[in-house]
Amino acid sequence: MSCTISGIGLAGFGTVGSGVWQILQEHGGLISSRSQGSAALEIRKIAVRDLAKKRDADAPAELFTTDLMEVVNDPAVDIVVELIGGTDAAFDLVAAALRAGKPVVTGNKALLAERGAELFALSKEHKAPIHFEAAVAGGIPIIKAVQESLVGNRIESIAGIINGTSNYILQRMTEAGLGYPEALKEAKDLGYAEADETLDVNGWDAAHKAILLGSLAHGFLIDYKEVYVRGIEKVTPLDIKFASDLGYVVKLLSLVIERDHGAIEIRTQPSFLSQKHILASVHGVFNAVAVKGDHLGDSLFYGRGAGQGPTASSVVSDLVEAARNSRSDRGFIPYQESGKLVEIDETSTSYYVRFSVTDQPGVIANIASILANHEIGISGTHSPVDADNPDAAFVEMVFLLHKCPFGQLKTALAEVEALDCLTARPVVFRIETL
């Protein structure tokens, strides 16, 4: 068996980077055998910020540098792996690698969703592919599935739980009754959260992944500035409890749906989902992506969406692919210049709306009448009463509302907010039936 060794330049030796090192130490021989010698991989340079930091994985000290560009410029490096995160230094590194004609493997969804247009153009120009399986849903091979396995389908919809950190936090709040800060700390300690967890909890990490999936499915780069995104930071234990009382769970859902006229509805937000829906049983760090193709019908991809092992597993799969064929048409070459996105105000679902109110006669009637004036139907109400003290003032009033466009609901709620019985802004969750 003849064997060509591909030299790897690894930028980043944190949670994922050190996981890649460990997999290659453990399974390097197996990987080489499986690829008939075409993917013998050797890490030849590792860039980090701090050389003195104590690390779990024991790579030789002489491989380390703090100069990111060494990872690209070292002539012994054939493939560059970017696992430093962020959109600035990572952009410069990836752009330099592509200009040098070196294939890139990255797990950086923020970089590709926000600056992909420039990088994919460089990739095309220099015939150097960008592989990014690890950027979406950790260990689940969803990029290859959408790009390759489902290539014969028009993708009608993608519905995903694609941020492990927020899913873990919501579950710990639901099942262990933890407060938001304690649940977040656990997710960080487990290596699920980003170095800066802001993007995990404000919905943007999931939105970046949805943008990548939507772009692959529909052939044009979706502009992240046009995408509607809400996070889980404001989800309260009260709404989680009410959801449960009403037969729902709260999940951070990312949706990419092709509407009849060909426009794409894309949004990420915490939503109510029936406890009976298959995605309701996706717990903790697990992710799931439900893809509907016009010929395939429904399919579901499920697995660990974050953490060292699953993510490094995806990076190694891309490394093998890069070493094996070095095809320059890998990565993403848009095949449409642009596409149309649906305005968020035109998207329709049912809703859960919680009003915090003072207990005074006519409150329910006033709210109901405003909703009726805007032709919004009420399918149910929920207002827990203290069984031992039925005369106690009610302060939380939940309305379940029939399907209507989001813009119509916003207009009605603006009017409700002007009522003096409201003590806080209404809390709105979409109820997704998918």
User: What residues are labeled active site?
Assistant: 209
Please tell me whether residue 139 binds ligand HSE under the rule CB under 6 A. no
Q: How far is the CB of 209 from ligand HSE (least distance, A)?
A: 7
Question: Residue 47 binds which entry of ligand NAP, ligand HSE, none, with Cβ cut-offs from 5 to 8 Å by kind?
Answer: ligand NAP
Q: Which does 200 bind (CB under 5 to 8 A by kind): ligand HSE, ligand NAP, none?
A: ligand HSE
Please tell me the total number of residues recorded for the chain in this structure. 434
Binding-residue pattern over the window 299 to 328 for ligand HSE, x denoting contact by CB under 6 A: ------xx----------------------
**How many CB atoms are located within 10 Å of the residue 244 CB?**
13
Region for residue 118 given its phi and psi (left: phi exceeds 0; alpha: psi -120 to 50; beta: otherwise): alpha
SS3 call for 192:
coil
Q: Which is nearer to ligand HSE, 39 or 173 (CB)?
A: 173
Cα 395 to chain centroid, rounded = 35
Interface with ligand HSE, residue 84, by CB under 6 A: no
Contact region for ligand HSE (CB under 6 A) — 59-67, 159-167, 221-229, 313-321? Answer: 159-167
The values of phi and psi at residue 418, to 5°, are -80, -10
Work out whether strand 264-274 and strand 155-161 pair parallel, antiparallel, or are unpaired: unpaired
Q: Is the Cβ–Cβ distance between 160 and 209 less than 8 Å?
A: yes
Enumerate binding residues for ligand NAP (CB under 6 A).
12-17, 47-50, 53, 68, 83-85, 89, 107-108, 134, 138, 191-192, 194-195, 306-307, 311
Which residue sits closest to ligand NAP, CB atoms considered?
14
192 binds ligand HSE (CB under 6 A): yes
Encoding tokens for residue 101?
Answer: 């004609």
Nearest to 185 by CA among 163, 202, 199, 168: 168
How far is residue 281's CA from residue 302's CA, in Å, rounded to a whole number?
A: 11
Nearer to ligand HSE, 7 or 284 (CB): 284
Residue 161, both tokens: 């739980």
Residue number of the CB atom closest to ligand HSE: 165
Q: By the criterion CB under 6 A, which residues form the site for ligand HSE? A: 138, 163-165, 192-194, 200, 205, 305-306
